[in-house]
Amino acid sequence: MKIALLGYGKMGKMIEQIALSRGHEIVLKVDANDNDYEIAKADVAIDFSVPASAYNNITNCFENNVPVISGTTGWLDKYEDAVEICNKNNGAFIYASNFSLGVNVFFQLNEYLARLMKNLAQYQVSMEEIHHTQKLDAPSGTAITLAEGIINNTSRSAWKLDAADENEIPITAKRIENVPGTHTVTYKSDVDTIDIIHTAHNREGFALGAVIAAEWIIGKQGIFNMKDVLNIG
Ligand SMILES: NC(=O)C1=CN([C@@H]2O[C@H](COP(=O)(O)OP(=O)(O)OC[C@H]3O[C@@H](n4cnc5c(N)ncnc54)[C@H](O)[C@@H]3O)[C@@H](O)[C@H]2O)C=CC1
Ligand SMILES: O=C(O)C1=N[C@H](C(=O)O)C[C@H](O)C1
């Protein structure tokens, strides 16, 4: 498979290693200020760049018939526009806030737990995410997906960074040197606490999931997610 890497930072480099180890070829590495590149020579593009560039890079792929795997967070106000352009061009697209297998299992566990807690008004739900200090966005995309999983399965109406009203889910975002990504969902009552935690030990799980998604999307048309790829849930 001929892969274009859109973003050649920490994740782009890890994806390169995993892709080469699985027999794929990197035909293009696009980074900041690379404006003139021939995306059409790639079978698939994998975008792990920055919030400000993701939309333009992704939609350029659709306009050149190249399927896209995107893990960039913090640009989702334009997600529906990207989906429209993908569909108009009969393209293929997977966005995931987190490509790791473990987190995708954790997403399901979070929704299951939310359904169990739905009618237990004595428990207050909250979330914490911890990431390295270079991270541009807060809260993390994964924390937002977890919050949406709770909102869709309980009477909570919204999430908010730090303080929140009773009906909202407070999210605390911490930035600590070298932490790849830790997410905790907590239900606390006066008498006890339930925590579920996912801790990434490194970036390999994110990168492997993105390469597996790229292998899966070849030859397909439409908008998919990691549940489709991993066949879970
Ligand atoms: N969905 C997932 O599983 C994961 C998502 N991420 C997300 O992926 C993104 C990248 O993460 P990292 O690699 O850790 O960040 P990074 O900062 O190490 O790399 C981003 C790269 O994008 C480059 N870039 C800047 N402008 C660009 C442009 N116009 N076109 C292409 N590249 C451009 C930067 O120069 C940099 O090299 C972030 O949004 C992060 O939140 C990170 C890990 C896992
Ligand atoms: O920026 C990161 O590093 C990560 N970003 C993603 C997110 O915002 O959830 C996924 C992972 O937690 C690492």
ipTM: 0.99
Number of Cβ within a 10 Å radius of residue 233: 13
pLDDT at 221: 98
For residues 134 and 177, give the distance between their C-alpha atoms in angstroms, rounded to a whole number. Answer: 8
Instruction: Judge whether 172 is annotated as a binding position.
Output: no
**Ligand 1 atom nearest residue 7's Cα:** 32
Domain limits, the chain = 2-99+204-230, 101-199
207 alpha carbon – ligand 1 mean position (Å): 12
Burial 112-136 (b: 16+ CB within 10 A, else e): ebbeebeeeeeeebbbbbbbeeebe
Sequence-distant (6+) residues with CB within 8 A of 164 are: 158, 170
DSSP line for 33-69: T-----GGG-SEEEE---HHHHHHHHHHHHHTT--EE
**101-199 sits in which CATH class?**
alpha beta
- Angle, alpha carbons 135-140-142 (nearest 5°): 135
* CA of 14, nearest ligand number: 1
pLDDT at 185: 98
Which stretches of the chain drop beneath a pLDDT of 50? none
Edge-to-edge strands, sheet with 193-199: 158-161, 168-175, 124-131, 182-188, 193-199
The one-character DSSP state at 5 is E
12 alpha carbon – ligand 1 mean position (Å): 7
The third-level CATH classification (topology) of the domain covering 2-99+204-230 is Rossmann fold (3.40.50)
> Pocket of ligand 2, candidates 100, 137, 142: which has the most ligand atoms within 8 Å of its Cβ, to mutate?
142
> Pocket of ligand 1, candidates 50, 106, 206: which has the most ligand atoms within 8 Å of its Cβ, to mutate?
50
For residues 95 and 72, give the distance between their C-alpha atoms in angstroms, rounded to a whole number. Answer: 8
Pairing of strands 158-161, 124-131: unpaired
Catalytic hit among 24, 131, 183, 198: 131
The Cα-based distances of 163 to 117, 127, 136, 160, 167 in angstroms read 21, 11, 21, 7, 11
CB 127 within 8 A of CB 187: no
pLDDT at 38: 96
pLDDT at 163: 79
Tell me if domain 2-99+204-230 and domain 101-199 are identical in fold.
no
For residues 224 and 94, give the distance between their C-alpha atoms in angstroms, rounded to a whole number. Answer: 5
DSSP line for 172-195: EEEE-TT---EEEEEEE-SS-EEE
pLDDT at 164: 77
pLDDT at 226: 97
Catalytic hit among 13, 118, 135, 188: 135
CB 59 within 8 A of CB 38: no
Sequence-distant (6+) residues with CB within 8 A of 175 are: 130, 131, 132, 133, 135, 138
Instruction: Judge whether 227 is annotated as a binding position.
Output: no
Burial of 51 per CB tally in 10 Å (0-12, 13-18, 19+)? middle
Question: Cis ω on the peptide bond leading into residue 139 (within 30° of 0)?
Answer: yes
